[in-house]
Amino acid sequence: MENRLLIKYIKDGDKRGWNMLIDKHSRTVYNLSFGFCGNSDDANDLTQEIFIKVYKNIDKFDENFNLTSWIIKISKNHCIDYWRKNRNNKFRIDFNDNVVHDNHSPEDEVIRTDDLDILREKILMLKPELRAMLILRDIQNHSYQEIAESFDIPLGTVKSRINRGRIQLAKLYKDG
């Protein structure tokens, strides 16, 4: 469904429109939240909080802008606020994610799970802005242009920050 029609339904109080918006964007919001907090319980809480913010501010949404970018921007800002409030607390990594993988042997699955856990730990060590951009680009496959619109920054800045984030991530891997 076109975003303008979806927004019209939501603004008119049609619950189906709201449900469609959540269905369409919940995975992106959850994945970004998970990248900031590192565990599924907190990611679920953040996702709910973000959608409450979206709901409360939907009347302020300018229909000339991209809805996905607007939701990502709200998500990113909320996650950064969360990180700032909790950065002195040690983040925990949820090792019990229910991830379905293709036909791998049990040994392959253990190695893959260990690799994902290490990746999550290293991503959590990055600064919030770099972390958000890497999650959006390398995990969720958003385009550079979508990320630039979401952060309201030039395309070149997005590319350089993603590159810097990748370099820092590689250094974290190298340093152990």
The CATH number given to whatever domain includes residue 140 is 1.10.1740.10
Could you tell me if residue 99 is inside a domain?
no
Could you tell me if residue 75 is inside a domain?
yes
pTM exceeds 0.95 for this model: no
Angstrom distance (rounded) from CA 60 to CA 117: 39
Could you tell me if residue 71 is inside a domain?
yes
What is the secondary structure of 24-54 as a DSSP string? HHHHHHHHHHHHHH-SHHHHHHHHHHHHHHH
Domain that holds residue 118: 3-93+104-174
Please state the separation of Cα 111 from the chain's center in Å.
25
Could you tell me if residue 98 is inside a domain?
no
**Total domains, the chain:** 1
Could you tell me if residue 77 is inside a domain?
yes
Q: pLDDT digits over 30-83, tens only?
A: 988 988 887 888 899 999 999 999 989 988 888 888 888 899 999 989 988 887
